[in-house]
Amino acid sequence: MNAATRPSLTAILSALPEEQQGLLEQLVGAQKQTVAGRDFWLGQLHGQPVALGLSRIGKVSATLTAAVLIGHFGVSRMLFTGVAGGLAQGVKVGDVVVAHDFIQHDLDVSPLFPRYEVPLYGRSRFPCDPSLTALLALAAGRALTTAPDTTSPIVAGAQVHLGLIASGDRFVSSADESSRLQAALEGAGHAALAVEMEGAAVAQVCADYGVAFAAMRTISDRADNSAHIDFSTFVAEVASLYAQRIMGELLQSLPAPT
């Protein structure tokens, strides 16, 4: 069944339960609904009606979760919080990258189409919504500079970056692969700040439905040979709290629900 779009309903997608945990703990009036084998949580966060969903890992799973959030629950804006590997110089563990746009680094239909181009769309990059993205970048800046207590997970000196994020169905876990990927993207005019595994898929679904999309990623690793070390601990202990804090700042800056 297709729900009509609910103008005030905001989806917040996370890849893993550990990334969602902090948001779920704060959800007021939480109600679970299961669709397509996935659990969704409806409720209120900071006075805003929200639907929390798990993209799981990889572009196919993320596509399905995003399509359910729009087609079944009728969300009118989509946010993504998660982690990514830093690619560009200066994008450090503990920093936040807010996506300006997304590209699929593993998409190659050449020579039929230019490398990275999504066939029949005539484009390689899918932009995020400019207004929502600007609010998200401001929210991230506030969250990183206000550390209200000594148990704050915010890494000292953490910065917010805004730019291109590359998605693909690979966990990039060697310096060699990371340099090759970065060089190939740059050679085609697509210098990316970070790499992850879902965002480009969600951006494409949102573009198809005309739903506003914004995404932030906390940098958990440098996509090098030690990328896997402490990944789970970082996600549970740091990224989840970044998500909770940044989403809190963002939701409070959105217009009151109608």
- Residue 221 falls in the annotated catalytic set: yes
Provide, rounded to whole angstroms, the least separation between the CB of residue 231 and ligand ADE: 7
Provide, rounded to whole angstroms, the least separation between the CB of residue 6 and ligand ADE: 31
- Contact code string over 68-97 relative to ligand ADE, x by CB under 6 A: ---------------xxx------------
Exposed/middle/buried for 4, CB within 10 Å: 0-12, 13-18, 19+?
exposed
For residue 108, CA distances in Å to 81, 105, 115, 168 come to 27, 8, 5, 11
Sign of CA dihedral 252, 85, 171, 233: negative
Looking only at the bridges linking them, the beta strands covering 96-104 and 212-221 are: antiparallel
**Residue 220 touching ligand ADE (CB under 6 A):** yes
- Contact code string over 195-214 relative to ligand ADE, x by CB under 6 A: xxx-----------------
42/52 Cα distance (integer angstroms) = 6
Provide, rounded to whole angstroms, the least separation between the CB of residue 181 and ligand ADE: 9
Question: How many residues bind to ligand ADE according to rule CB under 6 A?
Answer: 13
Exposed/middle/buried for 147, CB within 10 Å: 0-12, 13-18, 19+?
middle
**Residue 221 touching ligand ADE (CB under 6 A):** yes
| Residue of this chain nearest to ligand ADE (CB atom) | 85
Binding stretches for ligand ADE (CB under 6 A): 83-85, 171-173, 195-197, 220-221, 223, 227
